[in-house]
């Protein structure tokens, strides 16, 4: 295989080579993407795709955004990395912007979602050690939610409430108990003075776009406040404008002690952040936590531009989100196979009645040049860039309508063929 740029490499040769040399962790779709612009991607054969997944919530400004591209070029030619042993121009300004929009006081920068989450768990344990509100008894239990997803490193796995992610790697971090998501009684039952943190995704993403209930979040907030524990929210997927507010918790009028963000922050460059209060930040001192790459000048310079653009787009995200949601609800009325439509802003989901149907529909849309994703087996997930227009929503709705109709007809026909045979079997029995 030659390496003369992506255009000269074929899907067949890349996929053959990957099979030999990569750990087999991904089941990739047979598409080789070579470039993107705005809401579109192009594959190696020149086919255009409407991107309604945006790199799983990363490319929130679309592909090849002019300001982002210019910022990367400018900063890459000045300074890419210095380590956290020295100052550079951008971390303080980025932290200032994030604290301003979150209502929190301090930031720590890292490279990914899972790393932000690990840091948040460490913060919870360190804060409990520093304050020791439990009369000298241990205060290190963490309450996490069933059906949650926080990442792939050990602490993140230990707090991820989906056995399929955890099982191959046990034993995990001790001290974690799972609460039924949105079950007030279960939270009340499992919470006691040995708990140092209650961990919640404000809207569960991998778990099928399941928002936390207001009462549940309020109870978590009250219990943690009263007992010197921390309310830790994971907004890695639902934060930074995705729902039409800077943070999803702002729809609830809540304020966490710690929040994690990542995905769209640096428009595709790896960057995550932990945000917290002045009170909690006091438990950290030099040497307790750190990273080589996290918060480098290139990623931070880009993130500052992202946040400037995100501010301008919130109203648009709300408007387009409402338009999209209403169109999905209209499909819900038309198609029996739709069980539920959920979501906020441009984080939307359609739950179907079988995983086969969800698989078939996602595949058909991909063939038609529309990228979405299936999560939690039966859920179609939509995380389009914030810059989509109504015409893009219309295109997706039309394709979804047709794909559902086609697959429902196929299922009906299959049932028709299958039912006389079943009668025959009964007749012979
Ligand atoms: C809510 C949530 N938390 C954490 C993560 C992990 O982020 P990363 O893949 O950047 O490590 C994800 C990734 O999908 C996520 O959706």
Banded pLDDT at 3 (limits 50, 70, 90): very low
Residues contacting 113, CB < 8 A, separation 6+? 150, 151, 236, 237, 260, 262, 263, 272
Residue nearest to atom 10 of ligand 1 (CA): 113
- Condensed to tens digits (0 to 9), the pLDDT of residues 369-412 reads 999 999 999 999 999 999 999 999 999 999 999 999 998 888 88
CA of 149 to the centre of ligand 1 (A): 7
Token pair belonging to 170 = 């046990």
Please state the rounded mean pLDDT for residues 1-11. Answer: 60
Element (H, E) at 179: strand 176-179
Characterise 22 by phi-psi region: left (phi > 0), alpha (psi -120 to 50), beta (else).
beta
Contact indicator for 124, 264 with CB cutoff of 8 Å: no
> Counting beta carbons within 10 angstroms of the beta carbon of residue 122, is it exposed (0 to 12), middle (13 to 18) or buried (19 or more)?
middle
How far, in Å, CA of 239 to CA of 19, rounded?
35
Long-range contacts made by residues 314-319, C-beta under 8 angstroms, separation at least 24? Answer: 314/241, 314/244, 314/245, 314/246, 315/244, 316/386, 316/387, 317/241, 317/242, 317/243, 317/244, 317/345, 317/346, 317/386, 318/244, 318/345
- Condensed to tens digits (0 to 9), the pLDDT of residues 108-161 reads 999 999 999 999 999 999 999 999 767 888 899 999 999 999 999 999 999 999
DSSP state of 13: H
- Condensed to tens digits (0 to 9), the pLDDT of residues 321-376 reads 999 999 999 999 999 999 999 999 999 999 999 999 999 999 999 999 999 999 99
C-beta of 362 in contact with ligand 1 (< 6 A): no
- According to the model, what pLDDT value does residue 420 have? 62
Query: Between 390 and 421, where is the model more confident?
Result: 390
Q: What mean pLDDT is reported for the chain?
A: 95
- Condensed to tens digits (0 to 9), the pLDDT of residues 247-305 reads 999 999 999 999 999 999 999 999 999 999 999 999 999 999 999 999 999 999 999 99
Q: How many CB atoms lie within 10 A of CB 377?
A: 13
Please state the rounded mean pLDDT for residues 48-76. Answer: 98
Is the pLDDT score of 427 beyond 50?
Answer: no
C-beta of 269 in contact with ligand 1 (< 6 A): no
CA angle 164, 168, 174 (to 5 degrees): 90
C-beta of 57 in contact with ligand 1 (< 6 A): no
Contact indicator for 274, 110 with CB cutoff of 8 Å: yes
Nearest to 190 by CA among 229, 237, 238: 229
Strands 48-51 and 203-204: unpaired
Please state the rounded mean pLDDT for residues 95-111. Answer: 98
Strand order in the sheet with 106-110: 106-110, 272-276, 258-261, 230-234, 195-201, 141-145, 176-179
Contact indicator for 41, 49 with CB cutoff of 8 Å: yes
Banded pLDDT at 418 (limits 50, 70, 90): confident
C-beta of 151 in contact with ligand 1 (< 6 A): yes
Please state the rounded mean pLDDT for residues 185-200. Answer: 98
How far, in Å, CA of 88 to CA of 297, rounded?
6
Nearest to 269 by CA among 296, 236, 307, 292: 296
- According to the model, what pLDDT value does residue 424 have? 45
Nearest to 197 by CA among 206, 208, 187, 186: 187
Contact indicator for 264, 247 with CB cutoff of 8 Å: no
Task: Specify the 3-state DSSP secondary structure of 369.
Answer: coil
CA of 383 to the centre of ligand 1 (A): 14
Residues contacting 187, CB < 8 A, separation 6+? 143, 179, 198, 216, 219, 220, 223
- Condensed to tens digits (0 to 9), the pLDDT of residues 227-253 reads 999 999 999 999 999 999 999 999 999
Output Rg (C-alpha) for the chain, integer angstroms. Answer: 23
- According to the model, what pLDDT value does residue 4 have? 45
pTM given for the model: 0.95
- According to the model, what pLDDT value does residue 8 have? 64
Token pair belonging to 367 = 């063939």
C-beta of 116 in contact with ligand 1 (< 6 A): no
C-beta of 236 in contact with ligand 1 (< 6 A): yes
DSSP state of 82: -
C-beta of 112 in contact with ligand 1 (< 6 A): yes
Residues contacting 246, CB < 8 A, separation 6+? 101, 102, 239, 240, 310, 314
- According to the model, what pLDDT value does residue 163 have? 96
Token pair belonging to 139 = 């205060």
C-beta of 91 in contact with ligand 1 (< 6 A): no
Q: Which atom of ligand 1 is nearest to the CA of 115?
A: 11
């Amino acid at each position: 295989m030659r390496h003369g740029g992506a255009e000269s490499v074929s899907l067949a040769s890349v996929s053959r080579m990957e099979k030999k040399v990569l750990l087999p962790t991904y089941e990739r779709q047979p598409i080789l993407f070579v470039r993107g612009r705005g809401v579109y991607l192009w594959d190696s054969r020149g086919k255009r795709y409407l991107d309604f997944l945006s790199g799983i919530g990363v490319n929130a400004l679309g592909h090849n955004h002019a300001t982002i591209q210019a910022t990367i070029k400018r900063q890459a030619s000045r300074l890419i990395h210095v380590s956290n042993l020295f100052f550079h121009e951008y971390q303080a300004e980025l932290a200032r912007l994030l604290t301003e929009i979150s209502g929190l006081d301090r930031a720590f920068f890292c490279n990914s979602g899972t790393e932000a989450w690990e840091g948040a768990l460490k913060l919870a344990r360190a804060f409990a050690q520093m304050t020791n509100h439990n009369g000298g008894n241990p205060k290190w239990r963490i309450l996490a939610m069933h059906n949650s997803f926080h990442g792939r490193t050990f602490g993140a796995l230990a707090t991820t409430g989906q056995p399929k992610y955890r099982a191959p790697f046990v034993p995990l971090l001790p001290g974690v108990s799972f609460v039924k998501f949105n079950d007030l009684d279960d939270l009340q039952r499992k919470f006691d003075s040995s708990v140092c943190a209650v961990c919640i995704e404000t809207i569960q993403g991998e778990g099928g776009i399941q928002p936390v209930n207001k009462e549940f979040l309020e109870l978590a907030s009250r219990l943690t406040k009263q007992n010197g524990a921390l309310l830790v929210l994971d907004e890695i997927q639902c934060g930074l404008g995705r729902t039409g507010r800077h943070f999803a918790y702002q729809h609830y009028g809540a304020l966490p002690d710690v929040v994690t963000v990542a995905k769209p922050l640096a428009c595709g460059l790896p960057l995550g952040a932990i945000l917290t209060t002045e009170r909690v930040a006091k438990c950290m001192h030099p040497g307790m936590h750190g990273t080589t790459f996290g918060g480098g000048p290139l990623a931070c310079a880009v993130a500052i531009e992202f946040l400037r653009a995100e501010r301008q787009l919130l109203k648009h995200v709300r408007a387009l989100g409402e338009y999209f949601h209403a169109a999905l609800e209209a499909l819900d009325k038309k198609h029996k196979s739709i069980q539920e439509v959920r979501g906020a802003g441009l984080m939307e989901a359609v739950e179907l009645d079988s995983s086969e149907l969800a698989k078939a529909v996602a595949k058909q849309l991909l063939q038609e040049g529309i990228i979405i994703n299936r999560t939690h087996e039966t859920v179609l997930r939509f995380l389009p860039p914030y810059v989509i227009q109504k015409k893009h929503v219309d295109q997706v709705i039309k394709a979804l309508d047709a794909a559902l109709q086609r697959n429902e007809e196929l299922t009906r026909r299959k049932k028709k063929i299958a039912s006389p045979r079943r009668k025959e079997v009964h007749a012979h029995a």
